[in-house]
Structure 1
Amino acid sequence: MYKPQAQQLELLMVKEEEKRLPAKRVDIVSLRLVKETSLLYKDRAIRSPEDGYNLFKQYLGELDREYLVVMCLDVKNQPTAINVCHIGSLNASIVYGALPHYLVFLFNCMNCMSLFDKRVSNLEAGISITG
C-alpha cells in the first residue's frame, strides 16, 4: 500500500498555489423583440377561427414550405403580434414544444392562436386557439 510522504504533499500544495488560471470571460446578452413591419386588420378583433385564418392568410400569402405561425391576442381578442416561429421542409416539420409559446410569454399576451400550414402553396390549415 502506498503512503504519501509529507514532503510530497507539501510540494503538491505549493504547485497548486502557484497555478494561476486566466479570468473567465462572461458574455452579456439581451433578448429583444424587434418590430419588423405591420399590417392593418380592418375587423380589429378575432371573433372566430375563420377571422384568424383570414388574418394569417393576409399575412402569409402563398407558401412554399410548412409554416408554424403564432398570433398574440390581448384581452379583447385583438391581435397584437404575429410571428413565424418555425419553417419546415417540404415534407417534415419538427418543432420543439415550447417554441410556439415563446413569443406569447415575451409579449405578455392573454391568448394566442397558432396556424400550421401543412400543404404546399395552399393555406388550408389547422387552427387552434388557446387561452
Structure 2
Amino acid sequence: MADNSTYTIGELSKSFDITPRSIRFYEEQGLLEPVRQGQSRIYHTKDKVRLKLILRGKRLGFSLAEISKLFELYDTNPNSAAQLQTMLQLTEQKRAVLSQQLNDIQMLMNELDDVEARCKEELNDLTRGVA
C-alpha cells in the first residue's frame, strides 16, 4: 500500500528544524522535486525521505554533488550494486579525510599543550622573580 502523505514546505522545515529557504535550495539543486500547485509546493513522502537523506549526508560530510550522484544511481536502479559500491567508496574517502583531520587536530593540541606549558613556566619564573 503506497504512502500518499503530502507535506507543505513549512511542515517539512519544522519537522527537520531547517529553514524553508534550505528546502528551496535543495529543490534548486535538483535533489527534491515537489509538485507545484500555483505558488505552493506539495512534497510527498519520497521528498521527505530524500530530505532526511540529504541532511544525514551533509552531517557525514558528503557534498550535495555526492548526494545527488547517489540519488541518480538509486533512481536508475533502486537495488543497484553500483549505488552500494559508490557509497562504500565515498564512505572510505570520508573516513580517510576525517582520519587525517583527527591527526592534524591531535598535532595542534600537542603544540598548544607545549605553548601553554612554556607560558606557565615563564609566568611562574616572573612571579618568583627569576628572569
TM-score after normalising by structure 2: 0.25
More helix by share: 2
Higher relative contact order (CA 8 A, sep 6+): 1
Which structure would you say has the larger Rg? 1
More strand by share: 1
